[in-house]
Amino acid sequence: MSTTLKRVHGFLAEFDNVQDLYHAAEHVRDAGYQRWDVHTPFPIHGMDDAMGVKRSKLPYFVFFGGLTGTCVAFTLQTLTQTTFWADIGLGFLQKLAETYPTVVQAKPTHIWTLPAFFPVMFELTILFSAFTVLFGLLSMIGLPRLNHPLFVSKRFAKFSDDGFFVCIEARDPKFSQEGTKTLLEKLGGKNIELIEDDI
Amino acid sequence: MEATATTHSTEAHTGAPRILDREPLVLNNRSYSWITNRICGIVENKQPLLWWVLFVPSVLLTLLTVFCFTYLISTGVGVWGQKQPVAWAWDITNFVFWIGIGHAGTLISAILFLTRQKWRTSVNRAAEAMTIFAVMCAGLFPAFHVGRVWMVWFLAPIPNANAVWQNFKSPLLWDVFAVSTYFTVSAVFWFLGLVPDLATLRDRCKPGLRKTLYGIFSLGWRGANRHWSHYETAYMLLAALSTPLVLSVHSVVSFDFATSIVPGWHTTIFPPYFVAGAIFGGFAMVLTLMIPVSKIYGLGDLITPKHIDNMAKIILLTGTIVGYAYCMEFFIAYYGANKYELQTFQLRGLYGPSTWAYYFMFGFNVFAPQLFWYRPFRHNLWVVMFVCMCVNAGMWFERYVIIATTLERHLTPGSWRVYEATWVDKYTFLGTFGLFMMLFLLFLRFLPVIAIGEVKGVLPQSNAHASDHDEKGIQEEDLMNYPDRHVAKTVA
């Protein structure tokens, strides 16, 4: 005989349409729940307000990601093509990178040839920003992950077609098996399921 | 309130602002699941015979390119027709041509996103795919043009022998950075847009290899709003990054020419002119691909006459900008009083050995799109396809005129020579069409051709406040972005 331990993940309730889901979200927010989410096939505008979700912090990370790109491009180019680093007393960097600045296309090796470096600085700013967007996003939303308790639910697969779900997690301090279920029923939730996770 | 509701229907219009009556972006009131089934069905069902009819020749053409490049490597770059003074010919023409094709994809996905043009949702996925495949085709040519293709890694900023670094002051190296950044960012943008739709495919698959693969690439997406919130910010940021990027890429490509001192290339109008031309040629290719796809797979409700109409208008606009640039080049050649430049333009357009190319260019790019001033032409798919084919060809001739014919007549008559393409030139270029088509057909076969999640988001029923309003027109508006529009209800 085998026994499997189960842990309650939360309650999953289905709603008929965007409007019902939106109003349900407002009520769950007002009931003071923290660890819950709605699952929809497309982003619903205004849902952040209805849920009380704050604006994403991603742009701040991306700004610094982009700045890193600019600096990398500046350093790479000035280090290899100019005497700038030696001029400010950091000649060892130039030795370290084994560089030998040469005059090409009549462009001198001092720092005032800088405009010729702008295109690459621009491109690397964009490149580093884009990577920061991708990896910043993934780390902020905790993806990729191989599995999630919600995927146990047969009905949940509808979320990517035309299903609108609310899931209130058991980790929420206000969660209770009866109270949360009653709330979801009262809001018009259908097919309310208790999602359990194998430990 | 009942009365105001009827004023907005088209039959009983009583002077209320018509601006609220918008053409629906999805015809026939389709439901969410209809959209899912129709788009996922393309991937899940057997492909129509026509898919195979196109796929097999595409693969054969791709093999032709592989053969030509193998022959080139084993024999030498001399198998191409370029000799002094025409050292840049079909290869760079093809490079600029393919890079330009890509630009419409980024324009649709980024600039139209930032300007809240919701009609982009039905075409952006395929256009972005087209961007990526076009850039792949483009990259081949400069890589092989360097001569010893196995040394192409010298372009990367890695210190090679003798501490010789790349020349960062060269437009050719700027090009390397611009194109590789463009490809990478486009791929990231495309992939990020695909994630929710891959999740849709994953959820519809039976367990097996396909489900596993879609599962891995959809990253465990579960449509949570806390995810969507970050996701939309990320998407917006990528759009905001891609917009200057796409303008920079073709500007940098134009610097390859504009920063030189060759008469006919040394022109300040090149950056905007190249960008407009790229968008022009790219949109023509988007339509060339999307009209057949829409017909073959029955996507008429999603890719509506309005979409085609809008894209035709963009072709008209950019084609006219390109026409302006052609004329302005001539004017500046005359007005600038540089006799070498004037001579170049006279040879290009009036009595040179390659004026035929100039007439093709002018006719295809400037005159053909003027048909789109007339609305019925924009709605006749045969006319649209005809104009797009003209533009596709015309834009290739434009690059050919700029690149090869300029070099044919250099500063001194001693270095004059008319360029002739060899069979290797021709078949390599032909083969890249096969590569492009093959990749696009595989994309149709395995990935959702229309952004499912985004199309659902523009349906009227996706507005969280749809039931709060009586008026049809307002429901289609994105009320949450404009909370004060709520008052529009009483204005009428």
- DSSP-assigned beta bridge partners for residue A13: A166
Q: From the centroid of its chain, how far is CA B213? A: 28
Instruction: State mean pLDDT over B306-325.
Output: 92
Q: Which of residues 109-128 of A touch B (CB under 8 A)?
A: 113, 116-117, 119-120, 122-124, 126-127
Please state whether B219 falls in left (phi above 0), alpha (psi between -120 and 50) or beta.
left
Asked if residue B155 lies in contact with residue B173, where contact means CB atoms within 8 angstroms, the answer is: yes
Q: Which of A16, A141, A151, A166 to mutate to test the interface with B (most CBs of B within 10 A)?
A: A141
Q: Which of B33, B43, B181 to mutate to test the interface with A (most CBs of A within 10 A)?
A: B181
- DSSP-assigned beta bridge partners for residue A7: A197
Nearest C-alpha in A relative to B239: A130
Q: What is the pLDDT of residue B20?
A: 57
Query: Could you give the CA distance from residue A159 to residue A193 in angstroms, rounded to a whole number?
Result: 14
Asked if residue B482 lies in contact with residue B463, where contact means CB atoms within 8 angstroms, the answer is: no
A150-154, B11-15, B216-220: range with lowest mean pLDDT: B11-15
Rounded to a whole number, what is the distance in Å from the CA of A71 to chain B's nearest CA?
15
Partner residue opposite B464 with nearest CB, options A46, A145, A150:
A46
Same domain, A85 and A134: yes
Q: Dihedral of CA A86/A87/A90/A93: which sign?
A: negative
Q: Which of A180-184, B156-160, B215-219, B469-473 has the highest mean pLDDT?
A: B215-219
DSSP string, B339-380: HHHHHHHHIIIIISTTHHHHHHHHIIIIIGGGGGGSHHHHH-
> If pLDDT is split at 50, 70 and 90, which confidence band does A195 have?
confident
Whether residue B237 has pLDDT greater than 60 = yes
Same domain, A133 and A186: no
Extract the tokens encoding B400. 């050919």
HSE-CB at B35 with a 13 A cutoff on CA atoms is 31
Query: Could you give the CA distance from residue B138 to residue B145 in angstroms, rounded to a whole number?
Result: 12
Same domain, A123 and A151: no
Q: Name the average pLDDT for chain B.
A: 86
Q: What is the pLDDT of residue B110?
A: 87
Same domain, A93 and A19: no
CB contact under 8 A, A126 and B241: yes
Cβ partners under 8 Å of residue B41, min gap 6:
none
Q: What is the pLDDT of residue B238?
A: 93
Same domain, A135 and A161: no
Query: Could you give the CA distance from residue A149 to residue A145 in angstroms, rounded to a whole number?
Result: 11
Nearest C-alpha in A relative to B169: A116
Query: Could you give the CA distance from residue A150 to residue B245 in angstroms, rounded to a whole number?
Result: 39
Give buried/exposed letters for B62-73 (b at 16+ CB in 10 A, else e).
Answer: bebbeebbeebe
Global pTM value: 0.89
State the CB neighbour count (10 A cutoff) for residue B89.
Answer: 24
Q: What is the pLDDT of residues B44-87, one digit of tens each?
A: 888 899 999 999 999 999 999 999 999 999 998 889 988 888 88
> If pLDDT is split at 50, 70 and 90, which confidence band does B6 have?
very low
Strand positions, DSSP E, B116-186: none
SS (H, E, C) B324-341: HHHHHHHHHHHHCCCHHH
Extract the tokens encoding B95. 């490079």
Nearest C-alpha in A relative to B186: A130
Please name which of A9, A28, A36, A8 lies closest in space to residue A188, comparing C-alpha atoms: A28
Q: Which of residues 73-102 of A touch B (CB under 8 A)?
A: 76-77, 80-81, 97-100
Partner residue opposite A140 with nearest CB, options B33, B230, B456:
B230
CB contact under 8 A, A43 and B170: no
Range of the structural domain that residue A164 is part of: 6-55+147-198
Chain A CB contacts of B188 below 8 Å: 130-131, 133-134
> If pLDDT is split at 50, 70 and 90, which confidence band does B471 have?
very low
The reply to whether A127 falls in a domain is yes
Instruction: State mean pLDDT over B210-228.
Output: 91
Q: What is the pLDDT of residue B166?
A: 84
Please name which of B1, B16, B12, B70 lies closest in space to residue B492, comparing C-alpha atoms: B16
Chain A CB contacts of B232 below 8 Å: 43
Query: Could you give the CA distance from residue B185 to residue A69 in angstroms, rounded to a whole number?
Result: 14
Q: What is the pLDDT of residue B75?
A: 92
Instruction: State mean pLDDT over B234-250.
Output: 92
The reply to whether A177 falls in a domain is yes
Work out the angle between the directed axes of helices B355-362 and B305-335 (0-180°, nearest 10).
Answer: 140
Q: Name the average pLDDT for chain A.
A: 88
CA distances from B276 to B104, B252, B259, B435 (A): 10, 14, 19, 25
Rounded to a whole number, what is the distance in Å from the CA of B11 to chain A's nearest CA?
28
Q: How long is chain B?
A: 492
Task: State the total domains in chain A.
Answer: 2
The reply to whether A1 falls in a domain is no
Q: Which of A94, A112, A141 is the last residue of a domain?
A: A141
Chain B CB contacts of A81 below 8 Å: 165, 167-169
Q: What is the pLDDT of residues A47-72, one digit of tens each?
A: 888 888 888 899 999 999 999 999 99
Q: What is the pLDDT of residue B19?
A: 55
Rounded to a whole number, what is the distance in Å from the CA of B123 to chain A's nearest CA?
17
Partner residue opposite B237 with nearest CB, options A45, A62, A98:
A62
B176-180, B261-265, B365-369, B436-440: range with lowest mean pLDDT: B261-265
- DSSP-assigned beta bridge partners for residue A107: A104
State the CB neighbour count (10 A cutoff) for residue B461.
Answer: 14
Same domain, A30 and A41: yes
Find tokens 């834009």 and name the residue: B395
SS (H, E, C) B389-447: HHHHHHHHHHHHHHHHHHHHCCCCHHHCCCCCCCHHHHHHHHHHHHHHHHHHHHHHHHC
CA distances from B98 to B105, B144, B309 (A): 12, 15, 24
Query: Could you give the CA distance from residue A166 to residue A173 in angstroms, rounded to a whole number?
Result: 17
A16 touches chain B (CB under 8 A): no
Same domain, A45 and A64: no
Query: Could you give the CA distance from residue B140 to residue B70 in angstroms, rounded to a whole number?
Result: 13
A106 touches chain B (CB under 8 A): no
SS3 A109: coil
State the CB neighbour count (10 A cutoff) for residue A191.
Answer: 13
Cβ partners under 8 Å of residue B364, min gap 6:
B390, B391, B393, B394, B395, B397
Q: What is the pLDDT of residues A99-110, one digit of tens each?
A: 777 788 788 888
Q: What is the pLDDT of residue B17?
A: 53
The reply to whether A158 falls in a domain is yes
Q: What is the pLDDT of residues B184-205, one digit of tens each?
A: 999 999 999 999 999 999 988 8
Query: Could you give the CA distance from residue B270 to residue B64 in angstroms, rounded to a whole number?
Result: 34
> If pLDDT is split at 50, 70 and 90, which confidence band does B2 have?
very low
In terms of Cβ atoms closer than 10 Å to its own Cβ (0-12, 13-18, 19+), residue B344 is buried
A22 touches chain B (CB under 8 A): yes
Q: Which of A105, A126, A141 is the last residue of a domain?
A: A141
Query: Could you give the CA distance from residue A187 to residue A182 in angstroms, rounded to a whole number?
Result: 9
Q: What is the pLDDT of residues B91-150, one digit of tens each?
A: 999 999 999 998 888 888 888 888 888 888 888 899 999 999 999 999 999 999 988 888
Rounded to a whole number, what is the distance in Å from the CA of B448 to chain A's nearest CA?
13
Rounded to a whole number, what is the distance in Å from the CA of B3 to chain A's nearest CA?
24
Furthest-apart CA atoms within chain B: distance in Å: 83
Partner residue opposite A76 with nearest CB, options B157, B171, B464:
B157
Same domain, A64 and A74: yes
Q: How long is chain A?
A: 199
> If pLDDT is split at 50, 70 and 90, which confidence band does B14 have?
low
Percent of chain B with pLDDT over 90: 53
HSE-CB at B85 with a 13 A cutoff on CA atoms is 16
Same domain, A45 and A65: no
Query: Across the beta sheet with A190-198, what order do the strands follow?
Result: A36-39, A164-169, A6-15, A190-198
